[in-house]
């Protein structure tokens, strides 16, 4: 007989000599069919003792559960254990380690087991392209015909590449995974910013749906697909804070050649278009305001010419500029027919400047953003008229044919501002216009107002205060008259009531 889970000390001990109850069988049947509430209301000692013991054990289990949860939150989670239990990808990502690890020896026909093998193949294919080969069809047309364009590294166990239809299914499944991840949390803008758990979840789902993606090292094939196509997927959608997504463009998701990937070229480009240049503009000489000037004073506007540097058509005889190899300064050379721009300063053009072609210079001081820029005075009307006049006069060479560089120098420039010319001819201003205002000892309303006004405006001149007092409202002036009268009376009492002269305005009269 199985032992009872209830304590044996509950109730009186069993006495075999006790006479049986006449209705014992009926009582036992009633007890066996009684519910929990009926037994609790009847006050059965054995049942109540067992119920109390059960409640005590449940309380202990609840306390242990709370203590375990508290300790779990205090221990930091490591990267190997994943993120917290609230992460929606934690349960699926833990199953990644359960998949058996594959080796290259098990699949000898797979060519691109490691990522560097595919990188080497890409480099070889780009070098061995044939220049005269006809241009092939575009990626969309080739994909419809079943040709794999961008996923040639994905291959089966026998080494055969997957076709274009299989590659399209792989891309569609990857986008479906990213859409599901976006419903759980706001996705990152780039695949490189995603967490480890999200990546493991993506690798698991991709390799479970397409086993050929497992034929590689460290899931690099699935990662390569995400690196190439994730950014375009994110750019074609708008994400809200609630996790819902809205697709922006439908036509670009199924393209086999994304914008940010570099495929193996089928044909060498006719022109290496590394830099698209704007329309060509010609340069004119900079303003020779001095025999030597710093390059920082030249305008930042940059233009290109066919000969490196060319004077304007109106002043073909402008003296060219030369740069010194030891410093970034330019000096003015003497005018003459044999003077030419320095190739070392301007840089020798390597290729012809044309739209869509590469532009290069040679020399230690080639023209770039870090070296000297030779700019032209494109808008001389922005400068002072006298300056412009003397500038053009300085461009005219002297009549003497024996003039050398040391003898020639431009005439001195006139003052750049017309205010300098008028400064010596204008008459001097009145002394009262600059004389500071000083209140007197008189007890007039004007003097009392001046004392209070100078406390707030101490730099007021005599002429300025005169204008202020004359324009002041008469009602304001009358407010100071009682104070002036009282002050005058107080001083008269001190002097014995004798007033030698009028020191205050009469009642109702205000001096202006």
- The answer to whether 413 and 388 are in contact (CB under 8 A) is no
CA distance 318 to 374: 14
pLDDT at 18 (0 to 100)? 62
In the sheet where 292-294 sits, what is the strand order?
Answer: 292-294, 329-332, 321-323
Same domain, residue pair 241 and 101:
yes
How many other β-carbons are positioned within 10 Å of the β-carbon of residue 470?
A: 8
CA distance 279 to 300: 18
- What's the token pair of residue 319? 């003296």
Give the sign of the dihedral formed by CA 107, CA 109, CA 115, CA 117. positive
CA distance 180 to 245: 10
pLDDT at 161 (0 to 100)? 92
Same domain, residue pair 155 and 205:
yes
Among 217, 236, 237, 234, CA closest to 226: 234
Same domain, residue pair 140 and 212:
yes
Same domain, residue pair 124 and 223:
yes
Q: Is residue 411 part of a domain?
A: no
pLDDT at 99 (0 to 100)? 65
Start-to-end C-alpha separation, the chain: 128
Q: Is the pTM for the entire model greater than 0.75?
A: no
pLDDT at 282 (0 to 100)? 60
Q: Is residue 298 part of a domain?
A: yes
Helix H, strand E, coil C: the string for 60-85 is HHHHHHHHHHHHHHHCCCCCCCCCCC
CA distance 385 to 383: 6
Residue for token pair 């006049």? 389
Same domain, residue pair 114 and 205:
yes
CA distance 487 to 444: 9
What is the count of structural domains for the chain?
A: 3
**Which residue among 203, 231, 247 closes a domain?**
247
Same domain, residue pair 230 and 294:
no
Q: Is residue 425 part of a domain?
A: no
Same domain, residue pair 235 and 179:
yes
Q: Is residue 391 part of a domain?
A: no
pLDDT at 451 (0 to 100)? 86
- What angle is formed at CA 373 by the lines to CA 369 and CA 377, rounded to 5 degrees? 140
pLDDT at 209 (0 to 100)? 92
Helix runs in 378-508, H state only: 385-394, 418-423, 431-434, 445-456, 462-470, 474-479, 481-494
Residue for token pair 């067992």? 50
Same domain, residue pair 238 and 123:
yes
pLDDT at 110 (0 to 100)? 92
Same domain, residue pair 242 and 295:
no
Q: Is residue 275 part of a domain?
A: yes
Same domain, residue pair 240 and 101:
yes
Q: Is residue 340 part of a domain?
A: yes
- The answer to whether 229 and 258 are in contact (CB under 8 A) is yes
pLDDT at 19 (0 to 100)? 59
**HSE (CB half, 13 Å, CA atoms) of 212?**
21
- The answer to whether 375 and 302 are in contact (CB under 8 A) is yes
- What's the token pair of residue 505? 């305005």
Residue for token pair 């094939």? 221
**Which residue among 380, 405, 424 closes a domain?**
380
Could you read off the pLDDT tens digit of each residue along the chain, which spans 512 residues?
445 444 444 555 556 566 566 677 777 788 888 888 888 778 888 888 888 889 889 999 989 988 888 888 877 654 444 444 445 565 444 444 456 788 888 999 999 999 999 999 888 876 544 444 444 555 566 667 778 888 899 999 999 999 999 999 999 999 999 999 999 888 989 999 999 999 999 999 999 999 999 999 999 999 999 999 999 999 988 876 655 555 555 445 566 555 444 444 444 444 444 444 455 566 554 444 444 434 443 344 444 443 443 444 444 444 444 444 444 433 334 444 444 444 544 444 444 434 433 334 344 333 443 443 434 444 544 456 666 676 667 666 655 544 444 444 555 544 444 333 333 334 444 555 678 888 887 878 888 888 888 888 888 888 888 888 888 888 888 888 888 788 778 877 777 655 444 444 444 444 44
Coil vs helix vs strand at 229: helix
Q: Is residue 505 part of a domain?
A: no
pLDDT at 169 (0 to 100)? 93
Query: What DSSP state is assigned to residue 256?
Result: S
Same domain, residue pair 224 and 138:
yes
Domain that holds residue 302: 271-380
CA distance 226 to 230: 5
Q: Is residue 115 part of a domain?
A: yes
């Amino acid at each position: 007989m199985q032992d009872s889970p209830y304590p044996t000390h509950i109730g009186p001990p069993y006495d075999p000599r006790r006479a049986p109850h006449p209705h014992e069988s009926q009582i036992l049947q009633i007890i066996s069919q009684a519910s929990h509430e009926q037994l609790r209301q009847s006050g059965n000692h054995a049942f109540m003792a067992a119920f109390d013991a059960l409640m005590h054990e449940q309380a202990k289990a609840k306390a242990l559960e709370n203590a375990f949860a508290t300790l779990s939150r205090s221990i930091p989670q490591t990267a190997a254990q994943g993120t917290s239990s609230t992460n929606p990808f934690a349960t699926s990502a833990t199953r990644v380690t359960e998949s058996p690890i594959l080796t290259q020896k098990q699949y000898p026909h797979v060519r691109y087991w490691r990522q560097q093998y595919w990188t080497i193949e890409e480099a070889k294919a780009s070098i061995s392209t044939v220049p005269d080969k006809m241009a092939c069809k575009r990626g969309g047309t080739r994909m419809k015909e079943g040709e794999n364009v961008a996923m040639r590294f994905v291959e089966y166990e026998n080494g055969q590449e997957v076709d274009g239809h299989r590659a399209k299914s792989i891309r569609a499944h990857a986008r479906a995974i990213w859409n599901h991840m976006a419903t759980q949390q706001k996705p990152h803008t780039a695949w490189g910013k995603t967490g480890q758990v999200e990546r493991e979840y993506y690798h698991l789902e991709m390799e479970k749906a397409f086993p050929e993606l497992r034929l590689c090292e460290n899931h690099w094939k699935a990662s390569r697909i995400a690196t190439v196509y994730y950014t375009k997927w994110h750019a074609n959608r708008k994400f809200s804070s609630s996790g819902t997504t809205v697709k922006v463009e439908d036509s670009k998701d199924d393209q086999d050649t994304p914008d940010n990937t570099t495929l193996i070229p089928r044909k060498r480009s006719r022109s290496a278009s590394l830099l698209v240049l704007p329309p060509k503009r010609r340069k004119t000489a900079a303003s020779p305001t001095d025999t030597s000037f710093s390059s920082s004073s030249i305008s930042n506007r940059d233009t290109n010419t066919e000969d490196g540097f060319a004077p304007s058509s109106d002043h073909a005889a402008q003296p060219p500029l030369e740069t010194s190899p030891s410093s970034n300064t330019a000096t003015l050379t003497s005018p003459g027919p044999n003077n030419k721009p320095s190739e070392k300063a301007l840089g020798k053009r390597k290729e012809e400047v044309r739209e869509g072609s590469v532009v290069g210079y040679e020399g230690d001081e080639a023209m770039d953003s870090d070296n000297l820029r030779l700019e032209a005075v494109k808008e001389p009307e922005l400068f002072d008229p006298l300056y412009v006049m003397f500038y053009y006069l300085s461009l005219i060479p002297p009549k003497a044919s024996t003039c050398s560089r040391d003898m020639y120098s431009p005439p001195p420039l006139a003052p750049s501002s017309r205010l300098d010319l008028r400064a010596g001819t204008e008459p001097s201003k009145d002394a009262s216009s600059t004389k500071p205002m000083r209140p007197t000892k008189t007890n007039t309303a004007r003097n009392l107002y001046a004392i209070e006004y100078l406390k707030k405006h101490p730099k007021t001149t005599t002429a300025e205060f005169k204008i202020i007092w004359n324009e002041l409202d008469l009602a304001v002036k009358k407010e100071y008259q009682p104070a002036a009268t009282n002050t005058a009376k107080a001083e008269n009492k001190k002097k014995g009531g004798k007033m030698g002269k009028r020191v205050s305005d009469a009642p109702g009269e205000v001096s202006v």
